[in-house]
Amino acid sequence: MSSEEKKVDIFRDTPVRYLGYANEVGESFRALIHVNWVRFSYVIASSYVCADATSKGLEMSQREWPDAKTKRSKVTYAVTDTVIWQGLASVAIPGFTINRICFLSNLLLQKTTALPTITRKWTVTAIGLAAIPFIIKPIDHSVDWLMDNSLRKWSGTSMTAKDHSK
């Protein structure tokens, strides 16, 4: 592979990335499905986070380092940074956001319409699903900013989550 070719990151550059959004889909369907299915959607999203962090750690461990201590430090940082970034940007913040959008949409529809319950629930689900594409980039950028101004600043490293694959 030439230096001009970009290495494909299976967790960021392929449809596997959508597994990170499983919990948002689960939250959108919360009004229509058993809560255990919503919880299962979090298991899927969290598994995606763990797989990505493991991948980034393995990638760092395969590089040449001057000594074992440096290698351990770099691998630990890559895994920690990825788990925190993905945990916030793919699971915690979007899950909470979609949950609140659906909750408030349901409340608003209950108070302002006479929709039958099943219609209201499907409407809330549609609103939740429709909101997902609009929340992703702002959340990603906010988490980048947060991490760049906290953990990454304290560790002396400033990188976005995508930089782990470089």
Above 60 in pLDDT, residue 160? no
Above 50 in pLDDT, residue 48? yes
Above 70 in pLDDT, residue 25? yes
pLDDT band, residue 164 (cuts 50/70/90): very low
What is the predicted pLDDT for the residue at 84?
95
Written as six digits, the tokens of 33 are 């499905």
Q: Which residue has the higher pLDDT, 43 or 163?
A: 43
Written as six digits, the tokens of 123 are 């409407």
Query: How high is the mean pLDDT of the chain?
Result: 90
What is the predicted pLDDT for the residue at 125?
98
Q: What is the mean pLDDT of residues 118-124?
A: 97
The percent of the chain in helix, strand and coil, each rounded to the nearest 5, is 75, 0, 25
* pTM for the predicted model, two decimal places: 0.84
Above 80 in pLDDT, residue 140? yes
| CA angle, 116 then 121 then 122, to 5° | 100
Q: What is the mean pLDDT of residues 103-110?
A: 97
Q: Which residue has the higher pLDDT, 151 or 116?
A: 116
pLDDT band, residue 1 (cuts 50/70/90): very low
The percent of residues above 90 in pLDDT, for the chain, comes to 79
Count of alpha carbons within 13 angstroms of residue 82, beta-carbon side? 28
What is the predicted pLDDT for the residue at 77?
93
The C-alpha R_g of the chain, in whole angstroms, comes to 19
